[in-house]
């Protein structure tokens, strides 16, 4: 069990990284032919322990990594559901050349 303060730290690292990954993968040029938003959720969960290491989150490694994986999955699922319902498209659209790219899920 980790402290509430540590859980907030883990959650913040996960939110930052999942949001960054989402913004990157919203650009179709950053996705391969086998990309799916379900893969994205799995990818975020798998990368969560790496994010904890890079952010130098200290404490009981197994508890922190499991908490991070849970947070990453939950955050990624929530954002991809919102994306599929066009709730985030306006936030992640950006200008490239003369037009806008969107997340086309």
Residue 95: is its pLDDT beyond 90?
A: no
Q: What angle do CA 72, 95, 19 make, to 5 degrees?
A: 10
Q: Which residue blocks in 26-60 are alpha helix, DSSP H? A: 37-54
Query: Which pTM does this prediction carry?
Result: 0.80
Where in the sequence is the domain holding 43, given as residue range(s)? 4-101
CA end-to-end span of the chain: 37
The reported pLDDT for the residue numbered 94 is 45
Residues 79, 91: Cα–Cα separation, whole Å: 12
* Residue with the two structure tokens 């969107």: 102
The per-residue pLDDT for range 39-94, each reduced to its tens digit, is 999 999 999 999 999 999 999 999 999 999 999 999 999 998 887 766 555 554 44
The predicted model gives 11-31 an average pLDDT of 92
The domain tally of the chain equals 1
């Amino acid at each position: 069990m980790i402290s509430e303060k540590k859980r907030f730290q883990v959650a913040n690292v996960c939110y930052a990284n999942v949001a960054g990954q989402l913004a990157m993968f919203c650009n179709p040029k950053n996705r391969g032919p086998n990309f799916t938003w379900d893969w994205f959720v799995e990818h975020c969960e798998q990368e969560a322990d790496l994010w904890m290491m890079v952010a130098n989150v200290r404490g009981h490694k197994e508890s922190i990594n499991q908490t991070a994986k849970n947070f990453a999955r939950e955050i990624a699922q929530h954002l991809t559901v919102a994306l599929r319902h066009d709730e985030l498209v306006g936030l992640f659209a950006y200008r490239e050349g003369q037009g806008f790219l969107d997340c086309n899920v």
